[in-house]
Structure 1
Amino acid sequence: MIFMTNPIANSKNTSQKLILASQSPRRRELLAQLGYQFTVQVSDIDETVADTETAYDYVLRLAKQKAQHIQNLLPETEQANSQVLGSDTCVVLNGQILGKPDNEADCIKTLSLLSNNQHQVLTAVALASQAGVQGQVITTNVVFKTLTTAEIKAYWLTGEPQDKAGCYGIQGIAGQFVKSINGSYSAVVGLPLYETAQLLAKAGFIGAINTNPYEKVIT
């Protein structure tokens, strides 16, 4: 699957191919929004939280592993001219990672915890190449309004929370639950645009604006 929104995208690094290691349509849309040409390969890794692992370490590990997994699967002839972008997001309340709901009861429990409360959304982004993998974590504070059980049940019936970490999608119906946000909105959706663009620029990739802030300017 190839995504191309700008014919001059990646022109500064024509020898390098960009691969997104994600099945998330939201991450595909966000990366395409920046104007990069890329392909998609889904990374199938174990996403179990390790004992004593913090949320920060967890999302960073998964983002790096997703990217490295696809990089390692590439034929040896393609590894030198390909770089893989991986990302992962988790919702955290009082140090506890809130995962995707198994059923309506899970959703009611999770959103009742988030109701009238502040939580954190941690999103990691990582880029793997033949030289190794680098990444970072972005933390955003989100405050929810008070939710009634009736609201939560009605939200569950929309189908939106069923595949979402923390049981909600800020870019959808659940946007009306958010009283305030301090940090990166795009990171809460699934891919931090600023940090991703900076990471790709350092690797030589060019997006829609066709410039690289890390390229030396000759006067």
Structure 2
Amino acid sequence: MMRLVSLTTMLTAPIVRIASLRKWSLQEIEMDTCKSSYKIILGSSSMARRQILSEMGYEFSIMTADIDEKCIRKEKPEELVMALAHAKADAIVTRLQTMGQLEENAHATLLITADTVVLYKGMIREKPTTKEEARNFIKGWVFWWSCSCCGIVLVTNLTTGTRKGAWERAEVYFHEIPDEVIDSLVGSTDTVMGLSKALTEKLIAEAL
């Protein structure tokens, strides 16, 4: 059983199987540039993404975008996550410019932004705003047995301005979940999806 998402990330539940619609192999990706030759800024407040990037062996600083995500609307989930990731990157670059730190940070520095949404019965679901909404989300997914998660990773080279981004989509299948387990999931801090390791490695290589 996996303990997943919080009110600040994306909520899911115990998983039977995650069927990825797009797969990347770390063995197929050759990194010619040593990780120590560049810096990384993670443009996210997600604890899960911080943990994932740390597990990948990267050292990084953190800067959050602090944008109003509800103001950005797209009909398709892949278009929405792409727009949100670009908006986060734009906001952080603007802040660096305002603070006069862009030139300093631009020396071999990559900015990573990301976003994830859930597609349930053809409807896009983002971060729940209340515990009750989070609880209803989980119960609905269990009743329907599955949901689709769409996530993007966007890497911006602050030196060249190059941006490389790609999205992945996965089907998540659920067992029946007792109410007491749902109650324990609501407000927890773990997430099933935050940052695709293989995709992140690939985009870092392309952005350099």
Flag whether TM exceeds 0.5 (same fold).
yes
Residue 109 (1) aligns with residue 112 (2): no
Q: How many residues are treated as equivalent by the alignment?
A: 168
Supply the RMSD in Å over aligned alpha carbons.
Answer: 2.4
State the alpha-carbon separation in 2 of the partners of residues 199 and 111 from structure 1.
32
Structure 1 residue 89, shift from structure 2 partner: 1.0
- The Cα offsets for residues 71-113 of structure 1, whole Å up to 9 and x where unpaired, read as 2322342354222100111111122122333333212321121
Match of 1:139 in 2: 169
2:163 aligned partner, one-letter code: V
SS state of the match for residue 42, structure 1?
Answer: coil
Residue 126 (1) aligns with residue 154 (2): yes
Match of 1:182 in 2: none
Match of 1:212 in 2: none
Match of 1:90 in 2: 117
Indicate the percent of aligned positions where both proteins have the same amino acid.
27
Unaligned ranges ≥5, structure 1: 1-7, 162-168, 171-187, 205-219
2:103 aligned partner, one-letter code: T
Structure showing greater relative contact order (alpha-carbon pairs closer than 8 Å, 6 or more residues apart): 2
Structure possessing the higher radius of gyration over alpha carbons: 1
1:201–1:93 Cα change, 3 Å = same
Unaligned ranges ≥5, structure 2: 1-32
Match of 1:153 in 2: 183
| TM-score normalised by the chain length of structure 1 | 0.67
- The Cα offsets for residues 28-57 of structure 1, whole Å up to 9 and x where unpaired, read as 111111112211111111211645532111
Residue 202 (1) aligns with residue 202 (2): no
| TM-score normalised by the chain length of structure 2 | 0.70
2:47 pairs, out of 25, 29, 38, with: 25
CA contact under 8 A between 1:43 and 1:69: conserved in structure 2? yes
